[in-house]
Structure 1
Amino acid sequence: MCSLPMARYYIIKDADQKALYLRDGQLLVGDPDTDSWSAEKICILPNRGLDRTKVPIFLGIQGGSCCLACVETREGPSLRLEDVNIEDLYKGGEQATRFTFFQSSRGSAFRLEAAAYPGWFLCGPAEPHQPVQLTKESESLARTEFYFEQSR
């Protein structure tokens, strides 16, 4: 578990109240009430090296020992989980841009924009048990709003 006092843990859900969970090294979205898995507790820490008015955050899983990163592929920006400690990212700051998301609120929901790829947002899948991904802001059916439930 992340030991930094400012670390907060959340269960993150999409607009359909499906939660993020980890399976086979991927962050998926599904319904914990009907399936045999449990929602992932996401550790969130700020990236102090970027503009704080944009609310830059890191998203760590497995107690902060693995973090969500944005990487370039032939198809464009993509998400990947990497074995990097969230506390190390917190101490590193600006060099950790590919692990950073700008958090913006939309009422009670939040959107998470990839700091390394402006205009690309974390997006939930249309079908359950599929991985979260990145999508361009202009895509009209994008499922880019998430709800954060504080956890322990």
Structure 2
Amino acid sequence: MTGRAVLAGGLALVSGLTLAGCSSGGSPELKVVGAFMPQPVSDIAAAFLVVENAGGATDRLTSVTSSISDHVTIHETKGRAMRMVSSFEVPAGGELDLERGGSHIMFSELKRQPKRGQKISVELHFEKTGPLTVELPVEETTYNPAKQ
């Protein structure tokens, strides 16, 4: 075998392994951690969570639904301004962090008043991945977990 043949064979092998590595992680792999809802003091509530994406493709959180409210929206906070958005990116190999003082889920016109210790079920809807059902533990009104 000539040096060129060995080099060409080696390049083909490396190229094949590289392509195989790319295709194996080509879809989002989503998991929710750190979810909670502070106990609301009115008919409006917020929820916070982290969506982790271990996959090789970006996804988008497009909506949230829950039996506790017919009016669930997602909001972005920049500086002191809060605005409703149509979606949030969940980057490949990254995360979407919905946290106090930042982006979050907003519930308006609550059908019932959740109390500390209860759990509220929500369904997160994504552009590529099927819906994820998440149980939000209701925490004290001032609850704010420390970041790791």
Please give the TM-score of this superposition, normalised by the length of structure 1: 0.26
Which structure would you say has the larger Rg? 2
Please give the TM-score of this superposition, normalised by the length of structure 2: 0.26
